[in-house]
Amino acid sequence: MKKAKIKVGVLGLGRMGLSHAENLLDKIQNAELIALCSLDETAKNYAKLWNIPFWYNSYEKMLENQEIDAVIIVSPTPYHPQNILDALRAKKHVFCEKPLGTNLEEIYNLVKLAKNYQNQVIQIGFMRRYDKDFNYAKQLVDQNQIGKVFYIRTLSQDPEKDIKNMFYFGPTSGGQFIDVGAHDLDLMIWYLNSYPKRVWSLGDAYKYQEFRTWNDGDVVAAMFEFHNGSIGIMTASRIGPQGYQAQAELIGTTGHLNIGLIDAKNNVISLNSAGAVHNYHRNFNSRFKDAYIAELDDFVNKIIEKNYDKTQLEEALVNIIVLKKAQESFQDKQIKEINYPDWLEIK
pLDDT range class, residue 168, cuts 50, 70, 90: confident
Q: In whole angstroms, give the CA distance from residue 249 to residue 256.
A: 7
Please, which residues have CB within 8 angstroms of residue 311's CB and are 6 or more apart in sequence?
Answer: none
Whether the predicted pLDDT of 174 surpasses 90: no
- 96 CB neighbour count, 10 Å cutoff: 26
One domain, residues 225 and 328: yes
| 180 and 270 fall within a common domain | yes
Question: What is the value of pTM for the model shown?
Answer: 0.90
Asked if 256 and 243 touch (Cβ cutoff 8 Å), the reply is no
Beta strands in the chain (DSSP E): 6-11, 31-37, 54-56, 70-73, 93-96, 122-124, 149-159, 196-204, 219-226, 231-240, 245-252, 256-259, 264-272, 275-280, 336-337
Q: What is the mean pLDDT of residues 114-126?
A: 96
Q: Say what the pLDDT of residue 234 is.
A: 98
Q: CATH number, domain at 103?
A: 3.40.50.720
Same domain, 154 and 254: yes
Q: How many domains is the chain partitioned into structurally?
A: 2
Q: Is residue 295 a part of any domain in this protein? A: no
Shared domain for 14 and 51, answered yes or no, is: yes
Q: What is the pLDDT of residues 225-245, one digit of tens each?
A: 999 999 999 999 999 887 788
245 and 140 both lie in a single domain: yes
The per-residue pLDDT for range 49-82, each reduced to its tens digit, is 999 999 999 999 999 999 999 999 999 989 999 9
Angle, helix 181-192 to helix 311-332, in steps of 10 degrees = 120
The percent of residues above 90 in pLDDT, for the chain, comes to 79
Query: Final residue of a domain: which of 88, 120, 152?
Result: 120
35, 56 Cβ separation under 8 angstroms: yes
Whether residues 60 and 172 share a domain: the answer is: no
Separation CA 223–CA 233 (nearest Å): 4
- Residue 214 scores a pLDDT above 60: yes
> Any long-range contacts for 63-68 (C-beta under 8 Å, 24+ apart)?
63/87, 63/90, 63/92, 64/90, 65/9, 65/35, 67/7, 67/34, 68/7, 68/8, 68/9, 68/34, 68/35, 68/92
CB-neighbour burial class of residue 183 (10 A; exposed 0-12, middle 13-18, buried 19+) = buried
- Provide φ and ψ at 243, rounded to 5°: 130, -155
Within this chain, do residues 99 and 220 fall inside the same structural domain, yes or no? no
Determine the structural domain holding residue 96 and report its residue range.
6-120
